[in-house]
């Protein structure tokens, strides 16, 4: 039996990258999916076509998650089209990479309005809908190991990710009476189109070999974890963060431990 049969999911930033991986994996397990996008309309339609080919329903919906009213309208549109909302994945993010002393305030806010405030809007309006429905739900935030690791030149993104992880724990606390699970996935270095903004193919290939697992992660690997958290298999999990990084963070600790042994 498909784990998400009869469920309806909303995935932000679902036209490409991790969001696309999540949307497709959810559909493979039986969910109907609202595919949110902001600028990549053709790719969003490709995701919709792929989901419909599986025999599921799908709808591409343009919305800027940084605009609160657009997120509210998107949740309403989900319910109007599919009848209800059971799973919300807050994935959309934006990053401008500059040193703290160089980044402009409007660049900081451009990052926060999507990566932090957009997640807040998505979670809040999804939670309101799930509470009103009265039969529980699943909220999943796609965060990052940047929440744990103060990566240089990513100050706004780092603090946004730290903020949304704490938001998830707060929401989990508040929503337990409604049987709404709220959890976080912290991906490591994932092979997405967005990475090409910052690295060449040659650099990605070279640097990926430095990851303990020997490669970048794939969007589908994050999507499969999202399916687990969205399913009844994870019914007793809420307020948790699951790191999916091919051993990246553990290796940093191990490297430090090894250095101590050789002193």
pLDDT 10s digits, 152-198: 999 999 999 999 999 999 999 999 999 999 999 999 988 877 666 77
Q: What is the sign, positive or negative, of the torsion defined by CA atoms of 101, 102, 105, 107?
A: negative
Decide if domain 8-202+217-247 falls under CATH 3.90.78.10.
no
pLDDT of residue 57: 98
Mean pLDDT of 74-103: 97
Question: For residues 199 and 57, which has the higher predicted lDDT (pLDDT)?
Answer: 57
Residues annotated as catalytic are 144, 157, 161
* CA separation for the pair 217, 230 (Å, rounded): 20
How is the chain split into domains, by residue range? 8-202+217-247
The 10 Å Cβ neighbour count of residue 89 is 31
- Mode of pairing for the β-strands spanning 137-142 and 180-187: parallel
* CA separation for the pair 92, 141 (Å, rounded): 9
């Amino acid at each position: 039996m498909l784990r998400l049969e009869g469920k309806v999911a909303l995935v932000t930033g679902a036209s490409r990258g991790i969001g696309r991986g999540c949307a497709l994996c959810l559909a493979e397990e039986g969910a109907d999916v609202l595919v949110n996008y902001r600028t990549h309309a053709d790719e969003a339609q490709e995701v919709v076509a792929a989901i419909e080919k599986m025999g599921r329903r799908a709808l591409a919906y343009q919305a800027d998650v940084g605009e609160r009213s657009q997120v509210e309208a998107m949740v309403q549109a989900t319910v109007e089209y599919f009848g209800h909302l059971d799973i919300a994945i807050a994935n959309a993010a934006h990053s401008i990479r500059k040193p703290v002393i160089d980044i402009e305030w409007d660049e900081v806010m451009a990052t926060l309005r999507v990566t932090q405030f957009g997640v807040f809007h998505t979670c809040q309006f999804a939670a309101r809908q799930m509470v009103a429905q009265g039969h529980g739900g699943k909220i999943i935030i796609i965060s990052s190991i940047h929440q744990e690791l103060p990566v240089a030149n990513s100050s706004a993104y780092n603090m946004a990710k730290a903020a949304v992880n704490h938001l998830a724990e707060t929401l989990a606390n508040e929503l337990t009476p409604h049987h709404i699970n709220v959890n976080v996935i912290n991906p490591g270095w994932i092979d997405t189109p967005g990475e090409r903004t910052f690295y060449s193919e040659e650099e990605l290939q070279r640097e990926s070999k430095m990851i303990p697992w020997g490669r970048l992660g794939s969007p589908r690997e994050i999507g499969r974890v999202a399916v687990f958290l969205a399913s009844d298999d994870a019914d007793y999990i809420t307020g948790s963060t699951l790191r999916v990084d091919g051993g990246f963070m553990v290796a940093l600790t191990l490297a430090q431990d090894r250095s101590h042994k050789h002193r």
